[in-house]
Structure 1
Amino acid sequence: MKKKLAFFSGLLFSILLSAYEIKIVPDRPDRIYKCDEMANFTVTVTDKGAPFKDGKLTVVFTNGYGTRRQAAIEKQLSGEPLTFSGTTHVPDLLRCNVAMKPNDGQSILTHTNVMFEPYGIQPGASCPEDFQQYWEHQIAELAKTPADERCEQLPNFKSDNCRSYKVSFATPVGRVYGFLSLPPKPGKYPAIVNIAAAGPGYNSRHRHAPNYVILTMNVHNIDPKENMQPDYQQLCEEGLKISGYAGWGAYLYAGADSRDTFYFRAPILGLYRSIEWLAKHPEVDASRMGYFGVSQGGGLGLIMAGLTQRFKAIVVAVPALCDFGGKSVGRTSGWPGYVAYYEKKGLPNLKECFYFDAVNFARSITCPVRIAIGFNDVVCTPTSICAAYNVIPSQDKKLLCEPEAGHDADTREQYREAAFKWLNEYLSAN
């Protein structure tokens, strides 16, 4: 009986908490400031839609990594909006952390972010001196491994809209798999490459688009089932477990102690091989190849664009794998935080991850590029993405800023409409 009462008390408490609404509104809609300028945040608290005054607010300004920018500020709620101001002296993210404590309850936490001089953020670590030589050597060694290119038609996906194939390519360790979609009639078409976001890879499903060749690739050595039913998710998860990577994110740190065993090394080489194969496909116009990817697929898009030089234009959203060295300069490192991983293992001076940092591939991107960031993204932080963007030498590049978005920036209608319209204009033109 006591357990039941405790359960219902907790449920009632949750319902009561959900009645509070805390809004934090910066004084600039674009949320971009210059260093040492004051960013002003208006905070309002309501209870079931009515102004709330029986409590207090505590505000702490930090950067994304949690470095405190100034002392905590406390103000008693009065039912009226309250204003708090903060700044940074260097290009960085500023987070307004708000704790609201009702007089008779527990604190409720929330936050929002603004950016200070995002175009001035630089990578936290330098590029390895032998970075270029390392990857040139890897590609030369890849040529010694037979490509064993396989392209198998998928009759279950036969339709009036496309011709579908399962493709795979040999890597130094296993294979990479994906799907190729061709328009219904043979011809010469522009192509778009997409690489899966993080996880087992069941989001790397068959895709098609009118008058485009679409190549969708995964990073894992897992052969997808032809029927692509929901059990493909189970197949991918079981495949990772069989490979020794239980838990969807465990593969990220596999072999990370050495650049030659780093998990992404083999997939990067396999993906490179798949893109080179696509460029030579008889139905692909190699002068009109583009890329679109999100999160892990966004970071790998930057890597591929720097490595292959095959793309006419690329669009990536909230890219991962950027600025692993951010932590060393007091910022949040790019996902998945290899430097912190090394420190936990007692190897703080290990530099192997920087051979896979998208920042260092981005230094070679010369094609037009659009990159979407969400200022409130706590997975792939905007500072890590800006560090990659700012080293891209392309003369045609643009940040697509979504000030209120988190890691869902790619789902915003404004972004999708602008991004795909831009990519289509580049690839449809001869």
Structure 2
Amino acid sequence: MKNRFFLLSFFLLSLCLETIAQPPRQLVQVIVTPDKADWTYQKGEQAQFRIMVLKDNVALDGIDVKYSIGPEKMDAWEEKTITLKKGVATVKAKQFNEAGFLRCYASVEIDGKTYSSYATAGFTPDQIKPTTTLPSDFEQFWENAKGELANIPMKPVMTLMPERCTDKVDVYHVSIDNFRGKVYGILCKPKAEGKYPAILHVPGAGIRPYYGDVWSAERGIITFQIGIHGIPVNLDQKVYDNLSSGALGSYWATNMDDKNYYYFKRVYLGCVRAVDFIESLDCFNGEDIAVTGGSQGGALSIITAGLDSRIDYLIAFYPALCDLTGYLHGRAGGWPHMFRDGFTNKPEKVETSKYYDVVNFARFVKVPGWYSWGYNDDVCPPTSMYAAYNVITAPKELKIFPETQHWTFPEQHWAGYDWMYKKLQE
């Protein structure tokens, strides 16, 4: 069991390099908690937040704490200072009358350093509705795009990476032709003869190398982990750093004025092309493909399942790109928050976003899915994620870990991957 935990922990760490790791513990801890154990209320209720400050695990007394309360990512309703009495302060928010999320921030200055934390209360989140709308030609747009892709020969190139192979798994760097470029990724496949299910790993935001999922391949599953930027995924880290600070610095906004040339068109079609590649493998069983990822990868998991009927299962952690137009309606929108800045709120950009918003792909998901996020996520606000999740009519399972921000507990990953493995190996 210890060995199993070590191997999976190493694998999960490599997969999560693109996301924010669980933050380290600080000398002073600011603790904010709602007065309901599941952090969830009904519309019209008043949330109450309890604030404590610990140093050396001892509650501090008689110190001043600044706090603010307001809807997530929006202007605060109130900002005040309160003094801890017997180590605790309790603040009550005004009624929250809509389906959504209310956040309480607290901060304290000790020895010249500021420490802070927050907690987020959900109000009837299963009733959150999207602000984005479905274009009348959405399905036709993507059918035409997939038709364009189908006319491009895949031309796969598989290069064995002996230094990454194990006694049970062969590892390859792969390139395949895609719409306007290539898709690169790391293929891990069992050495033993047989027919196997497959996992497509789609990436979180950023530009980086990838290492593949050897752990799952050693357990009898083909894995294909892809990048989205049309560049090899086995280069020196400095190459990706230079691209991140240069040509690809804000890739998510590139060509957003035109839905036909927006950056993510090639990305979404690249995920379909990755499924084409998996389907072409002699060792694939021809039946079972799961897609999974976190943040941007969570978004791409839902998008790929909505676009491609060959996907059988999806596992999405804190999906980005959900309900992007939320900010235009007075509430939080999804990463990358392009409409939070009025300069980007041009009508043509808003219109383009509708063709790429996770919400509109979620409407077409027809396969079982497992989803997980936290109420405290400040990168992918829960309001935006629920807006997408609530339109899914396929079998779905949502596991909320309220405290988590843009990271996951190991138990959270275990739950998702156990669900996926059981589905693939039933």
Alignment of 1:12-411 (within 5 A): 20-46=28-54, 49-69=57-77, 71-86=78-93, 87-100=95-108, 109-202=116-209, 204-208=210-214, 209=216, 210-225=219-234, 232-238=236-242, 244-245=247-248, 247=249, 250-340=250-340, 343-345=342-344, 347=346, 350=349, 351-394=351-394, 396-409=395-408
Give, as a single letter, the amino acid of the residue that structure 1 aligns with 2:220. Answer: N
**8 A contact 1:318–1:407 mirrored in 2:** yes
> What is residue 415 of structure 2 aligned with on the other side?
418
Quote how far apart the aligned CAs of 1:340 are: 3.0
What do the CA deviations read for 1:268-316 (whole angstroms, capped 9, x no partner)?
A: 1122112023124221123211122111111111110000022221111
Quote how far apart the aligned CAs of 1:413 are: 2.4
**8 A contact 1:45–1:79 mirrored in 2:** no
Higher relative contact order (CA 8 A, sep 6+): 2
**8 A contact 1:338–1:353 mirrored in 2:** no
Distance 2:345 2:271 in 1: 32
Distance 2:165 2:295 in 1: 30
Q: Secondary structure at the match of 2:263?
A: coil
Rg (Cα) greater in structure? 1
Gap change, CA 1:107 and 1:191, over 3 Å in 2:
closer
Distance 1:270 1:45 in 2: 48
**8 A contact 1:61–1:94 mirrored in 2:** yes
Quote how far apart the aligned CAs of 1:188 are: 0.4
In structure 1, the gaps of 5 or more residues are 1-17, 226-230
Gap change, CA 1:251 and 1:28, over 3 Å in 2:
same
Quote how far apart the aligned CAs of 1:77 are: 3.2
What do the CA deviations read for 1:19-64 (whole angstroms, capped 9, x no partner)?
A: 6542212222211111112222111234555554444344332111
Q: Secondary structure at the match of 2:198?
A: strand
**8 A contact 1:299–1:322 mirrored in 2:** yes
Distance 1:336 1:58 in 2: 29
Distance 1:195 1:55 in 2: 47
Distance 2:106 2:207 in 1: 36
Gap change, CA 1:236 and 1:21, over 3 Å in 2:
closer
Distance 1:158 1:101 in 2: 51
Identity, % of aligned positions:
28
Q: Secondary structure at the match of 1:179?
A: strand
**8 A contact 2:62–2:87 mirrored in 1:** no
Give, as a single letter, the amino acid of the residue that structure 2 aligns with 1:198. Answer: A
Distance 1:306 1:216 in 2: 19
What do the CA deviations read for 1:163-188 (whole angstroms, capped 9, x no partner)?
A: 12222222232111001111011210
Aligned residue pairs, count:
396
TM-score by length of 2: 0.86
Distance 1:287 1:174 in 2: 28
Query: What's the C-alpha RMSD, in Å, of the aligned pairs?
Result: 2.3
Distance 1:288 1:91 in 2: 37
> What is residue 424 of structure 2 aligned with on the other side?
427
Q: Which moved more, 1:272-281 or 1:76-85?
A: 76-85
TM-score by length of 1: 0.85
What do the CA deviations read for 1:148-177 (whole angstroms, capped 9, x no partner)?
A: 222233333333120122222222321110
